[in-house]
Amino acid sequence: MKAFIKTRYGGPEILRFEEVERPSVKADEVLVEVMANSVNPADWHILRGKPYFARLSYGLLKPKHKIPGTDFAGVVVKAGTNVTHLKAGDKVFGHHLKGGAFAEYISVPANSCALMPTGTDYTEMACVPLAGSTAYQALVIHGQLRKNETVLINGGSGGVGHFAVQIAKACGAKVTAVCSSKNADFVTGLGADRVIAYDKENIHQHEGQYDLVIDTNGNLSHADYKRMGKRGVMVGFTTMGHMMSVSLRKAFSRFPLAQFTAEADAMDLDVLGTLIYKNKLKVHLTQTYSQHDIPEALSYIEKMRTKGKIAIRWLR
């Protein structure tokens, strides 16, 4: 099969599109023919091995896993002997942080993917897994968001943010979202009750009070969370120094601030699929590339100014 491979850490230019062996299928796994991917900041963090502490998980001197790519949608070709809920021919979407998705086929644990809802397409559903799960887990699992609560979503226009605004609305919350002024109409259209343009109002001086503060951008200080929220969830990060400063202050504070790494969970993916089926969650696609342009798509997302999502469609 054809796949992008990396043998060292570096930028998108180090990727080579080569013939490699098709992965085998373990008992708890499914082999999926990949029809579409999306790209996420995690893809370039892992590709570059940055921040450096990520190399403890992904390989100290060189990458442990040769094929990059997290999000995929495709067709199950073979199910492992222990897999009962998926079978050959099923259309699925899922994510795998160990990589392997920028390839014609990927083998993944069956519990890291779910059935695509009726009426959806591969390109759309490939955009949902990591960003959608992160938004859902931040709001519902770590943030414990309840109906009629108020939530501030710092960074409401990107992959995670645009899902977070819609999921928070679907939960019955009152949503204030922060984004650049050029994306204000977009975020209002997603359902935000109020938009704060960070290039017009300094969020670090914002006096609003919210039940929950979610930071997908990662520039809020510990004092920002405490000033604006009753509880907080840190999703993204800007610099290592900033993240360590928040973590350190969190260690000496009683303020409930959660930090987490999104997990691939079939039940969460099912919830997201149901929201899409019921028209309560939509993927906003900014651009679609072919598999040959995956390095270009990674360069695009590395600028961290993506509106909605970027998809990859496999042309065969």
In the complex, which residues of this chain contact ligand NAP (CB under 6 A)?
40-42, 130-131, 134, 154-155, 157-161, 178-180, 183, 198, 216-219, 235-237, 260-262, 301, 304-307
CB contact set of 53 (below 8 Å; sequence gap of 6+): none
Helix/strand/coil for 17: strand
Q: Which residue has the tokens 């050959």?
A: 88
**What is the per-residue DSSP string for 105-142?**
EEEEEGGGEEEPPTT--HHHHHTSHHHHHHHHIIIIII
Nearer to ligand NAP, 31 or 297 (CB): 297
Q: Compute the least distance from the CB of residue 153 to ligand NAP, in Å.
A: 9
In the complex, the smallest distance separating the C-beta of residue 263 from ligand NAP, rounded to whole angstroms, is 8
For residue 161, the minimal CB distance to ligand NAP (Å) is 5
Q: How far is the CB of 173 from ligand NAP (least distance, A)?
A: 19
Which residues make beta-bridge pairs with 310? 287
Comparing CB distances to ligand NAP, the nearer of 185 and 270 is 185
> In the complex, what is the shortest distance from the CB of residue 29 to ligand NAP, in angstroms, rounded to a whole number?
22
Q: Which residues contact 248 (CB under 8 A, 6 or more apart)?
A: none
Give whichever of 120 and 180 is closer to ligand NAP, judged by the CB atom.
Answer: 180
Select the residue whose beta carbon is closest to ligand NAP and give its number: 158
- Which is nearer to ligand NAP, 199 or 270 (by Cβ)? 199
- Name the residue nearer to ligand NAP (CB basis): 77 or 287: 287
CB of 18 or CB of 199, closer to ligand NAP: 199
Torsion, Cα of 227, 229, 235, 236 (10° steps): -30
CA separation for the pair 52, 68 (Å, rounded): 17
Question: To the nearest whole angstrom, how small is the minimum distance from the Cβ of residue 305 to ligand NAP?
Answer: 4
CA atoms of 224 and 220, how far apart (whole Å): 6
Find out whether 27 and 116 touch, Cβ atoms under 8 Å. no
